[in-house]
């Protein structure tokens, strides 16, 4: 068992997990399932931070199926990043793109739909 898995057994994580499950009404935030096993997922991993020290807005409730799909996201992100770099995108371009995604809901939804189509084949 890994160090990270051991940390997920500690009372501090169990308390944080309970807070997030309660906040999300024991419902998967992706598919809205309430009848499946639920997990609290870290939206991003920040190396040296204990699992329970993440801000609540970096945690979400996912069912087993959605959590499994989300775990595949790392490969997709790496592929997307490499593709953007190969096509001449620089750091400043990525910052501008992320700002547009944060501030324009129509553009964000378009990008998310496009990425989901790629992910689902």
Q: What pLDDT, on the 0 to 100 scale, is given for residue 120?
A: 64
Buried (b) or exposed (e) across 40-66, using 16+ Cβ within 10 A?
bbeeeeeeeeebbebeeeebbbbbeeb
46 and 9 fall within a common domain: yes
Q: Is the pLDDT of residue 10 over 70?
A: yes
Highest mean pLDDT among 32-41, 46-55, 93-102: 32-41
| Secondary-structure breakdown of the chain: helix, strand, coil percentages, each rounded to the nearest 5 | 60, 10, 30
59 and 78 fall within a common domain: no
Q: What pLDDT, on the 0 to 100 scale, is given for residue 53?
A: 94
Q: What pLDDT, on the 0 to 100 scale, is given for residue 101?
A: 76
Say what the pTM is: 0.64
92 and 57 fall within a common domain: no
Domain that holds residue 14: 3-64
77 and 98 fall within a common domain: yes
Q: Answer with the residue of higher pLDDT: 98 or 70.
A: 70
Domain-ending residue, one of 21, 42, 64: 64
């Amino acid at each position: 068992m890994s160090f990270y898995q051991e940390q997920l057994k500690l009372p501090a994580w169990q308390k944080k997990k309970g807070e997030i499950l309660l906040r999300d009404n024991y419902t998967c935030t992706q598919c809205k399932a309430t009848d499946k096993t639920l997990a609290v997922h870290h939206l991003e991993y920040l190396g040296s931070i204990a699992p329970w020290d993440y801000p609540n807005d970096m945690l979400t409730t996912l069912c087993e199926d959605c959590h499994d799909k989300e775990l595949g996201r790392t490969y997709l992100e790496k592929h997307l990043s490499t593709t953007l770099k190969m096509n001449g995108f620089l750091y400043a371009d990525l910052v501008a793109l992320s700002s547009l995604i944060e501030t324009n809901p129509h553009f964000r939804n378009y990008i998310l739909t496009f990425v989901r189509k790629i992910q689902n084949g």
